[in-house]
Structure 1
Amino acid sequence: MRKNFYFIYVLFAIAFLVTGSATAQNYFDNFPVKADPKIVGEKLSKHFLDSKHQLYFDRGIHYAEVCTWYGALRFAELTQNKELIKNLRNRFELLFHIEKNLLPPPIHVDQNMFGCLPLRLYSITKDERYRELGLPYADTQWTLPANANEEERSWDKKGHSWQTRLWIDDMYMITIVQSEAYKVTGDTKYMNRAAAEMVLYLDELQHPNGLFYHAPDVPYYWGRGDGWMAVGMTELLFNLPQNDPNRERIMKGYVLMMNNLKKYVNRDGLWNQLIDTPESWTETSGSAMFAYAMIVGVKNGWLNAEEFGPVARRAWLSLCNYIDDNNDLTEVCIGTGKKNSKQYYLDRPRIAGDYHGQAPILWCAYALLNK
């Protein structure tokens, strides 16, 4: 009888371990319909196609629209949705003629990141026009303009982009266009630039708690600002060659941030407008960026699945509850410049459907579907 009991116990233990292991691999499967990443991605991509351009004052298409467009394009690629690719490309085609005046001039970090979009389109279509349009946006980030000021010249002399300003937002804007330029050309100078720039920002701005002030003179952990760092490191690590000398340093900064973000998850399973301030409100755009960084980290083995899988899954499910009937993500902080005032961040208006929020939800959707 004892032998039979022992045998049954061993079988149960083995079954438990196997089931537990399978669960670790399936945190990103079996979602309810409302949170099915393919359905969510399709709805938000179609919604984007039906939306108007968002312009950046007199400087062309806004970077937040570029991020959303790029996300829809990546989603379309991954799901092999040729019709969606065609429609996203048709929207872009107007920029070659009727809407040419909406092309952002390559004069600022926010405008230069536009280049990631035509470069991605080139990777899909091999249409040389996209390559010719996109590469100058990557190149001019390291081409000092004649009217550069003293600070910009100083960064250039140090080998960094003249667009360096030590705002954490920059670490997506710079890394995404340089990464796409590398994929199109195979020239490692693009990744070397981006990696060195990221190390500079990590050394200057990351705190022992893994988080980042919005800028050196703004001592607040603003959600979406930190989100840009999280997705910037994620994109860079995904594209950076394994033997790159800066990879270890960037991975260290990424893991430190992810480990500490777990500590600040709020009761919604998301993160606050000011990450370390419990009385601030749940902000969805930064939360979606953190979720994306964790999803990609788990899928690539950078993060422990048992530890981070449940956090990322819960965040995705919660974010989907913030998508309204118009397929707009709600509770998105409006565009925000830096200011040394805690109340300024706490009082920022919240809106629905802003491209700052639509973009990272699309990123999460394609990351969840990527095997």
Structure 2
Amino acid sequence: MRKLFLSLLAMISFQFLFAQQNSLTQFPQGSAPNNVGKRLAYHFVDGRHELYAGRYIHYAEVCTWNGALDYAVKTRDQKLIKLLQDKFEPLFTREKPLLPPMNHVDYNMFGSIALKLYQVTKDERYKKMGLAYADTQWEVPEDAKPDEKAWADKGYSWQTRLWIDDMYMITVVQIQAYKVTGDHKYIDRAAKEMVLYLDELQRPNGLFYHAPDVPYYWARGAGWMAVGMPDLLLELPKDHKDRPRIMQGYLTMMKSLKEHQRPNGMWNQLIDEADFWPETSGTGMFTYAFIIGVQQGWLDAAEYAPAARKAWMTMVSYIDERNNVTEVCTGTGKKNDKQYYHDRPRNAGDLHGQAPYLWCAAALLGK
């Protein structure tokens, strides 16, 4: 009788675990990641460049480009890969003036898409361009300010500024440089920076203020950390000295995010404010962090897989008939005023929102 009971218990446990795993693989047609990803990726290909003040490629475009390419590779969509290459090709010639200068954390992350394209095509032009952006993030210019030189003297990027955005902007290009070259200096740089930012910016509850002097948990700001940590952990060697600290920061944040998820699966513009509006870019970033954590076994599937599924299913309902993600908070500088965050404009089709949706779609497609 005892053996039968244990056998039944094991079978129930297996079925339960299988059901949790399936919750991130089985979706209705309209919510299937391959369908959603295709809609958004082809929409991106057809769009115009998003520029900083009409001058340089914006980081939000690079984020979306990365997501579209990840989706194309996962689905082996050769047509889409070619279209993404074709979109980049003029940047070697007539659109070269649109290339961001290599003098700011938001500009240097452009190198990540060049390095991703190199991994797909093996075209050396992409590698040369991408590594230049990765390397100049640590090469101190002659006209660097004293505080920039001080960061470099401590082994950090001279572009360090302790804004939470940086933990995607810095890590994404350094990670890709590591993947292309195998040179550990790139992954070591990213890990060292991440530990600094965690030690300086993460609150005891695992979340992050928009800035030290702005005590509000803005969703998209926190989202850059939520994405940067698992992306770094995916590539960081298991025996790397900084891995335990980064994993601790990631798990602490995920626990807090789970507690603040709204009943419909979304997260609000300010994470801990129940009367604020559901915001899609932050929700997409947090969902991506959950998906990767469940897939890698860092997060308990029984707890986090249903949360990720619920978020994804609701996220899809925010895509309009033009394949634009709606309810995306516009670009937002810090301000010590809660009403300011509540009243921020909401855009449809803003690439800050299109990007994390593509990251989620690609992640849900598995390896």
Shorter-chain TM range is over 0.9
CA gap 1:59/1:25 in 2 versus in 1, 3 angstroms: same
Q: 2 CA distance for matches of 1:7 and 1:179?
A: 50
Moved more, 18-27 or 87-96: 18-27
Q: 1 CA distance for matches of 2:15 and 2:262?
A: 29
* Structure 1 runs (4+) greater than 3 angstroms displaced: 6-15
2:92 is the counterpart of 1:96: yes
Specify which of 320, 324, 330 is matched with residue 334 of structure 1: 330
Q: 1 CA distance for matches of 2:43 and 2:214?
A: 35
Helix, strand or coil: the match of 1:142?
Answer: coil
Specify which of 29, 34, 47 is matched with residue 33 of structure 1: 29
Write the mapping of 1:180-199 to structure 2, written as runs, cut at 5 A. 180-199=176-195
TM-score by length of 2: 0.97
CA gap 1:367/1:164 in 2 versus in 1, 3 angstroms: same
> How far off is 1:17 after superposition?
2.7
Specify which of 92, 100, 103 is matched with residue 107 of structure 1: 103
TM-score by length of 1: 0.96
- Provide the residue aligned with 2:175 in structure 1: 179
The CA deviation string for residues 323-363 of structure 1, in whole angstroms up to 9 with x for no partner, is 11111111100011122222221111011110000000000
Q: 2 CA distance for matches of 1:301 and 1:16?
A: 20
> How far off is 1:9 after superposition?
6.9
Specify which of 83, 87, 109 is matched with residue 79 of structure 2: 83
Q: Given residue 138 of structure 2, which amino acid in structure 1 is its aligned partner?
A: W
Specify which of 218, 221, 224 is matched with residue 220 of structure 2: 224
- Provide the residue aligned with 1:17 in structure 2: 13
- Provide the residue aligned with 2:135 in structure 1: 139
Q: Given residue 79 of structure 2, which amino acid in structure 1 is its aligned partner?
A: E
> How far off is 1:319 after superposition?
0.3
Q: 1 CA distance for matches of 2:94 and 2:193?
A: 36
Q: 2 CA distance for matches of 1:279 and 1:339?
A: 19
2:39 is the counterpart of 1:52: no
**Which stretches in structure 2 are left out of the alignment for 5+ residues?**
none
Helix, strand or coil: the match of 1:204?
Answer: helix
2:287 is the counterpart of 1:294: no
Q: 2 CA distance for matches of 1:311 and 1:329?
A: 20
> How far off is 1:70 after superposition?
0.7
Q: 2 CA distance for matches of 1:61 and 1:208?
A: 36
Specify which of 232, 247, 250 is matched with residue 236 of structure 1: 232
- Provide the residue aligned with 1:161 in structure 2: 157
- Provide the residue aligned with 2:300 in structure 1: 304
The CA deviation string for residues 29-79 of structure 1, in whole angstroms up to 9 with x for no partner, is 220111100000111011001111100125410000000011000111111
Q: Given residue 63 of structure 2, which amino acid in structure 1 is its aligned partner?
A: C
Q: 1 CA distance for matches of 2:240 and 2:25?
A: 33
> How far off is 1:21 after superposition?
2.1
Alignment check: 8 A CA contact 2:100 2:110 kept: yes
Q: 2 CA distance for matches of 1:9 and 1:158?
A: 60
Helix, strand or coil: the match of 2:47?
Answer: coil
> How far off is 1:312 after superposition?
0.6
Q: 2 CA distance for matches of 1:13 and 1:120?
A: 46
Q: 1 CA distance for matches of 2:228 and 2:3?
A: 51
> How far off is 1:8 after superposition?
8.4
Residues paired across the two proteins, number: 367
Helix, strand or coil: the match of 1:74?
Answer: helix
CA gap 1:241/1:286 in 2 versus in 1, 3 angstroms: same
